[in-house]
Amino acid sequence: MATTTTAVSGDKDIVEISEHNLPSLETVSQLVQDDTAGAIATFSGLTRDTFQGKKVVRLDYEAYIPMATKVLHDLIKEARENWAVKHVAIYHRIGTVPVGQVSVVVAVSSAHRREGLRATEYLIDRLKDRCPIWKKEVYEDGSVWKGACEGCRFNKHTHSNNNN
């Protein structure tokens, strides 16, 4: 498990990559709550049971944790440069994530909803594009690796999840 929290001028950035179940959406929302914020925008990604007509059994995630942590903090910095947000939390699970369980949570507090919603969308979209976290979709009839972090310099075949 890798957890980092930074604070710049009172604003919190929380990043956690863990093999354990993620905190509830309510818990993560409480972590970014602030009396100066009138909105908390969230995204929660779940393992669904089908993909393009195939029965999904589970998802297996691997990450190059030091780089993934850095990329997530960089994405938060970029979001802060574009929108007025207060606190940001990103949690991502690695290892096996069964159907119906949460693999990623993003929560952003902001004074107004528009900034929080836009920052949340930006963070989840860029995470999928740039973060060195790989997903293997396991079906009843086989499996396939996806999300090979096409926007980053590393790929699944050159780095394994050895937590260093």
Average pLDDT of the segment spanning 90-114:
98
Q: Residue 130 is encoded by which pair of tokens?
A: 């740039």
pLDDT of residue 3: 64
The CATH number that applies at residue 142 is 3.90.1170.40
Once rounded to an integer, what is the mean pLDDT over residues 26-54? 96
Residue 161 lies in a domain: no
pLDDT at 154 over 50: no
Is a pLDDT exceeding 60 seen at residue 107? Answer: yes
Cβ-contact 4, 15 below 8 angstroms: yes
Q: Is residue 6 domain-resident? A: yes
Which residue range is the domain that position 25 belongs to? 2-146
Residue 89: enclosing H or E segment and its boundaries?
strand 85-93
Backbone phi, psi, residue 65, to 5°: -60, -45
User: Which residues have C-beta within 8 Å of that of residue 24, sequence separation ≥ 6?
Assistant: none
Residues 6+ apart with CB under 8 A from 72: 15, 90, 92, 127, 131
Percent of the chain scored above 70 by pLDDT?
A: 84
In a domain, 160, yes or no: no
19 — phi, psi (to 5°)? Answer: -85, -5
Can you say how many angstroms the Cα of residue 70 is from the centroid of all Cα atoms in its chain?
13
In a domain, 101, yes or no: yes
Strands 85-93 and 11-18: parallel
* CB neighbour burial string for 129-145, b if at least 16 within 10 angstroms, e if fewer: ebbbbbbbbbeeeeeee
Count of domains for the chain: 1
Q: Beta strand pairing status for 85-93 and 102-110?
A: antiparallel
Is 142 inside any structural domain?
A: yes
Task: Read off the pTM.
Answer: 0.86
pLDDT value of residue 7: 59
Mean pLDDT, range 118-136, rounded to an integer:
96
List pLDDT tens digits, range 59-78.
Answer: 999 999 999 999 999 999 99
Q: Is the pLDDT of residue 54 over 90?
A: yes
Phi, psi of 145 (to 5 degrees): -80, 140
Whether residue 8 is contained in a domain is answered as yes
Q: What is the pLDDT of residue 126?
A: 97
Position 62 in a domain: yes
- Domain assignment of residue 136, yes or no: yes
Looking at 8-12, 82-86, 117-121, 150-154, which range is the least confident one? Answer: 150-154
Cα–Cα dist 113/96, whole Å: 33
Mean pLDDT of the 122-150 span: 88
